[in-house]
Structure 1
Amino acid sequence: MAILVFGLGANSRVYKKMQGICEFPNYLLLPSIHDRLAEIEYLLVGDGKKDMPQKMVNIVLGNESKEEKRDTCRQYNSASDFNRSRYGGA
């Protein structure tokens, strides 16, 4: 292993891992900046009607939890209730 790593530069993943350097991936930089700015905007505006914005880092990493997803299912007691909801009160 040492022979293979010897030819790598100081910016290689293996060299950084051997040195114990933890690096933040470049592809997460912009989503994390967006998340922080969105949180600041949410706190400054203080609109209680809106929910906290969804985290872009979670979307990029595919870590969306089921708690963050909104339930879009509706239940109806009868066909007339469904038609009334879909087509109006006619």
Structure 2
Amino acid sequence: MVVTITNLQATGPLTIPLASGRAVRLGPGERSPALPDADVIGNAKVDKLRSQRLIDVAAVSDASQDSAAGNAHGGETGKTHATVDERVMRHI
């Protein structure tokens, strides 16, 4: 599955470390390009940023994965999002 991360801060950039060893730097309100969910699920640093309400992690629906992957700057492309928590709950 593919996810995106959105910086919920009103000011200042955020650097988000991923499980793959890479990091994503997002400005205020900016959305990341499509990322593998393995980079965020179980990532303690991402979980901490989510609990502080600094970021939102959303799963990209299967129908829009191609358009999300092609949208490197994270602009609106009509994606349908479900939070990762909702996706995890469906598998429990």
TM-score, normalized by length of structure 1? 0.22
Quick check: which has more Rg, 1 or 2? 1
Greater strand share, structure number: 2
